[in-house]
Amino acid sequence: MAAAEPDSAAAPLLELRGVEAGYGPFRALFGVSFALARGRVLALLGSNGAGKTTVARVCSGLIVPTAGSVWLDGTDFTGRPAHEYACAGVVHAPEGRSVFATLTVEENLALTFGRSRGRAGTGAALEEAYAMFPRLGERRRQVAGTLSGGEQRMLALARVLVEKPRLLVADELSLGLAPIVVDDVYRILATIRDAGTTLLIVEQHVHHALGIADDAIVLAHGEIAFDGPVSELGDLHERVLGGDP
């Protein structure tokens, strides 16, 4: 192999190096660096406004860093458009994944699965989605716009999760869902993790996220305050989350 070629098998799936990012003149991230190896689950924690969503957007190419770089499989993706991240298997959920309000549950799902799996594969994908969220199966003929808020989020999630992305960047996946549905969502995340999807989880329900995560990052004011295994986190996240100045 030529020296300049990235060794993609050895490189982490995702790596941020010295990332700075913001909104106009406002700087939200300061020198954020971390790596996420294939098959790992990383929880991104921090108080409101710490920069978690900004990091998530950088990871899926939705925000271009003003300094530093973003690497996927050892290849520099900095500045590439978001669809190239998507082609590399990075899915940002559930933002930008809202449902088609005038179509039924099944039409929504069939539209998504038909694109990725063709007509022949759509039936099996529908069954997978209904196994994940039985409520969607019961309501398959209901127009999506009349589903409850939580059911619409289930539908948006099913569209993403059945695709089994290589890297799922999940920003507040369980926001607005009833606790029992949050439990379902985490069971499904564990299943897709077992099927080989790498996960980056931003979550308000910290105990849920830490229940599934191997590693954690705590962000404070746009900087990394902790980066390591969940077992070494101790009560740091509680101090950071509770100690917002």
Ligand X SMILES: Nc1ncnc2c1ncn2[C@@H]1O[C@H](COP(=O)(O)OP(=O)(O)OP(=O)(O)O)[C@@H](O)[C@H]1O
Residues near Mg ion (CB under 5 A): 52-53
**Nearest to 172, CA basis, from 67, 57, 76:** 57
Q: Give the nearer residue to ligand X in terms of CB position, either 50 or 125.
A: 50
Report the interface residues with ligand X, using CB under 6 A.
23, 26, 28, 46, 48-54
The residue behind tokens 């690497």 is 71
Q: What residues does 71 pair with on adjacent strands? A: 15, 76
28 binds, among Mg ion, ligand X, none (CB under 5 to 8 A by kind): ligand X
Bridge partners, 223 (sequence order): 220
**164 in helix, strand or coil?**
coil
Angle between the N-to-C axes of helices 149-161 and 105-132, in degrees from 0 to 180, rounded to the nearest 10: 70
* Rounded least distance, CB 24 to ligand X, Å: 7
* Residue whose CB is less far from ligand X, 192 or 218: 218
Amino acid at 228: G
63 or 129: CB nearest ligand X: 63
Smallest gap from residue 22 Cβ to ligand X (A): 7
Q: What's the closest the beta carbon of residue 204 comes to Mg ion, in angstroms?
A: 9
Q: How far is the CB of 83 from Mg ion (least distance, A)?
A: 23
Residues 245 and 242: their CA atoms lie apart, in Å, by 9
Q: Which residues contact 12 (CB under 8 A, 6 or more apart)?
A: 35, 36, 37, 38, 71, 74
Query: Considering CB distances under 5 to 8 angstroms, the limit depending on partner class, which of ligand X, Mg ion, none binds residue 145?
Result: none
Which residue, 23 or 235, has its beta carbon nearer to ligand X? Answer: 23
Nearest distance from C-beta of residue 222 to ligand X, angstroms: 7
